[in-house]
Amino acid sequence: MSTRITSTPGSAAMETVRLGQTDLRVTPIAYGTWQFGGEWGAVDEPAAVEAIQRALALGVNFFDTAQAYGFGVSERILGGALAAELRSRRDELVIATKGGLRIDDERGLVRDSSPEWLRRGVEESLKNLRIDHIDLYQVHWPDAEVPFAETGAALAQLIEEGKIRHVGVSNFSVEQMAELSRTTAVETAQPPYHLFRREIEDTVLPYAAENDIGVLVYGPLAHGLLGGTMDAETSFPDDDWRSKSSAFEGETFAHNLAAVKRLGQFAGERGASVSQLAIAWALANPAVDVAIVGARRLEHLQESIGGAGLELGTEDLEEIERIMVDSTPVGGPSPETV
C-alpha cells in the first residue's frame, strides 16, 4: 500500500512511509501516549518525558495522543517533551490527536462529535500540545447521536481555517467511514489490531487498501500480553484497566500466555523478541502503515522500535499462523471508551 524510503528524523535513521492518501511521511512506528492519561495507573511524568524524547532520538517522527487521555494530561506531557523540537523543526514531526469524547456529569465518559465539542477539543489540543496546527485529527469513536454530515462539515471547516491538516477516524466500521467520507475525506483509520484480535482483516483493512486510507493500528502488543514479560502470576493494580479485563484473567489469559511462549521460542530462533515479532507481524500486512507503541520503559521502547526492521517472509507468517491456531481471540470494545 505504501512505498518505503529511508530518512533521518531525530538522530537515528528510520524508514518512512506515506500515510495513505495524505502528504504525511511517517515512521512505521508511532509513539502513543494513552498510558500517560491515568488509565494504566499512576503517571511518572519525568519518565514519560524521557520516553518520548528517547523515541525521538531513536528516529520516531510520528506521535499519537488524544484529548481523552487524561483530558489534556497526555497532550500536555507530549507537547512539553517535544517543545524544543516543535519550535526548531516542526515540519519534520507529525502530531496526531483525537477528539469526540467528553465527561458527562451523569453518564460519565460519552461520545460527542458535535461541531461545538470538536471545535472546543481542537482549540484545547492546540494549546496543550503547544502547536498552531494538528497534522492528523481523528474522531476517537463514532457518535450515534450526531449526524456524520455535521461532524464532517465541522472538520472540513477546521481544515479550511488551518487548525488541522488531515482527518482520520478511530474505532470506526467500514460503513461509518463511508458515511463520514460523503462530507469530508477520511484519510486514515486507527483500529485495534494484534495477533489475538484480527477482525479488521475481513472489513476495515480491505476497505482501507481499496480507498488508499492510511492505517495506524493500536495495541499491536495486545496491551502487554505480547511483550513477553507476563506469566500466570501477573496481576495489575486497581487503577490499571487491565485489572478489569477478561483478556487478562482466567482460562483466556492462561491459554494465550501459552501461545505467547511458543511465539517467543519462534522469535528467539530468529534472533528477535516476541514483541518485535508481534510488531513485525502487524506491519507485514500490506494494508497497515504504522504500528503504535507506547512502552514506558526505555529498554522496552528500544526493543519495540526494532520490530520495524524485522522482515517476515511467507514461511515465517505461515508458522505464526500455525502457532496461533489454538489461541483464544479477544475482542469487543476497547477500554478507552464507554
Which domains, from first to last, does the chain contain? 4-221+283-311 (3.20.20.100)
User: Helix or strand or coil: residue 200?
Assistant: helix
Q: What is the pLDDT of residue 333?
A: 53
State the Cα–Cα distance between residues 215 and 193, nearest whole angstrom.
Answer: 10
Which band of pLDDT confidence, cut at 50, 70 and 90, is reported for residue 294? Answer: confident
Among 105-119, 134-148, 165-179, 294-308, which stretch is predicted with the lowest mean pLDDT?
294-308
Mean pLDDT calculated for residue range 45-50: 92
When the pLDDT of each residue in the chain is averaged and rounded to a whole number, the result is: 91
State the Cα–Cα distance between residues 105 and 170, nearest whole angstrom.
Answer: 24
State the Cα–Cα distance between residues 32 and 294, nearest whole angstrom.
Answer: 5
Q: What is the pLDDT of residue 44?
A: 87
Is the pLDDT at 229 greater than 50? The verdict is yes
Beta strands in the chain (DSSP E): 4-7, 14-18, 25-26, 29-32, 62-64, 94-99, 101-104, 108-111, 134-139, 164-170, 188-190, 214-217, 290-293
The residue that leads in pLDDT, 2 or 198, is 198
- Is residue 54 within 8 Å of 63, Cβ to Cβ? no
- Is residue 74 within 8 Å of 38, Cβ to Cβ? no
Q: What are phi and psi of 72, to 5 degrees?
A: 110, -25
Is the pLDDT at 255 greater than 70? The verdict is yes
Mean pLDDT calculated for residue range 15-37: 94
- Is residue 29 within 8 Å of 15, Cβ to Cβ? no
Which band of pLDDT confidence, cut at 50, 70 and 90, is reported for residue 337? Answer: very low
State the Cα–Cα distance between residues 174 and 206, nearest whole angstrom.
Answer: 9
Which band of pLDDT confidence, cut at 50, 70 and 90, is reported for residue 36? Answer: confident
User: Helix or strand or coil: residue 26?
Assistant: strand
Mean pLDDT calculated for residue range 48-73: 95
Q: What is the pLDDT of residue 224?
A: 85
Q: Tell me the per-residue pLDDT of 314-334, one tens digit each, with 9 for 90 and over.
A: 999 999 999 999 899 887 654
Is the pLDDT at 20 greater than 70? The verdict is yes
Q: What is the pLDDT of residue 38?
A: 65
Q: Bridge-partner residues for 56, per DSSP?
A: none
Q: What is the pLDDT of residue 317?
A: 98
Q: What is the pLDDT of residue 335?
A: 44
Closest CA to 185 of 219, 230, 148, 239: 148
- Stretch (H or E) spanning 250: helix 250-269
- Stretch (H or E) spanning 262: helix 250-269
- Is residue 63 within 8 Å of 30, Cβ to Cβ? yes
Mean pLDDT calculated for residue range 67-86: 96
- Residue 311 has, within 13 A of its CA and on its CB side, a CA count of 1
Q: Tell me the per-residue pLDDT of 121-179, one tens digit each, with 9 for 90 and over.
A: 999 999 999 999 999 999 999 999 999 999 999 999 999 999 999 999 999 999 999 99
Q: What is the pLDDT of residue 275?
A: 95
The residues that are catalytic are: 69
Among 153-157, 236-240, 264-268, which stretch is predicted with the lowest mean pLDDT?
236-240
